[in-house]
């Protein structure tokens, strides 16, 4: 029996869709195909928690900082990640030939060099997004902006994410972010 396919996601665009009350994640697969995934508030919350935990553990200055200084250090790194951001073109939904898929579970694996988000799909297939630390920070900031746009509760967010947003970077969130 052949090994199940693993789709490697290279670029994503996240956008809150009010009619669905969900995040639309348009993802470009390594082979150029585009897939669209729906992420519920619960799934987005799991991403937020995983990214925050990953960044707390894998940012050297944070791990060694006194607990009172961790937020300041994280805010600094978060702002730096947003200021170095170059905006790639959006992933176009019209390029997708597959129907949108509602994500019901996430599997997250981390290493010091990356966080890997695996989206289990039907028929044993999975889609994997691998992010380096600065990419995880950008994704976290984008999620924060879209959470605010959605009006979803912000109680799961650490203070340093809001501080980084208020300090500049990906602030307005007027359109889709990626």
pLDDT tens column, 139-152: 999 999 999 999 99
- Structural domain including 69 reads 6-166
**Tokens 């109680």 — which residue?**
155
Distances (CA, A) of 83 to 43, 89, 145: 27, 17, 15
Give the SS3 label for residue 103: coil
pLDDT confidence band for 86 (50 / 70 / 90): low
How many domains does the chain fold into?
1
Examine residue 173 and state whether it is found in any structural domain, yes or no. Answer: no
Q: Please give the structure tokens belonging to residue 53.
A: 């935990």
| pTM summary value | 0.78
Query: Tens digits of per-residue pLDDT, 16-69?
Result: 999 999 999 999 998 888 999 999 999 999 999 999 999 888 765 555 555 555
Examine residue 31 and state whether it is found in any structural domain, yes or no. Answer: yes
Contact 141, 82 (CB under 8 A): yes
> Which tops the pLDDT comparison, 79 or 160?
160
Examine residue 1 and state whether it is found in any structural domain, yes or no. Answer: no
Strand-pair category, 34-39 with 101-102: parallel
Examine residue 36 and state whether it is found in any structural domain, yes or no. Answer: yes
Give me the sheet containing 107-111, strands edge to edge. 101-102, 34-39, 22-29, 6-17, 126-131, 114-120, 107-111
């Amino acid at each position: 029996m052949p090994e199940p396919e693993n789709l490697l996601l290279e670029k994503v665009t996240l956008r809150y869709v009010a009619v669905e009350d969900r995040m639309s994640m348009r993802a470009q697969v390594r082979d150029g195909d585009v897939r669209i995934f729906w992420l519920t508030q619960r799934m987005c919350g799991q991403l937020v928690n995983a990214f925050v935990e990953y960044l707390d553990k894998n940012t050297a200055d944070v791990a060694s900082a006194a607990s009172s200084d961790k937020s300041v250090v994280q805010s600094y790194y978060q702002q730096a990640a947003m200021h170095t951001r170059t905006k790639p073109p959006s992933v176009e939904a019209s390029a997708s030939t597959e129907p949108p898929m509602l994500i019901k579970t996430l599997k997250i694996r981390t290493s010091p060099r990356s966080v890997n988000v695996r989206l289990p799909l039907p028929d044993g297939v999975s889609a994997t997004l691998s992010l380096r630390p600065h990419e995880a920070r950008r994704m976290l900031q984008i999620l924060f902006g879209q959470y605010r746009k959605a009006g979803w509760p912000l109680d799961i967010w650490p203070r340093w994410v809001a501080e980084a947003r208020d300090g500049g970077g990906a602030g307005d969130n007027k359109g889709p972010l990626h």
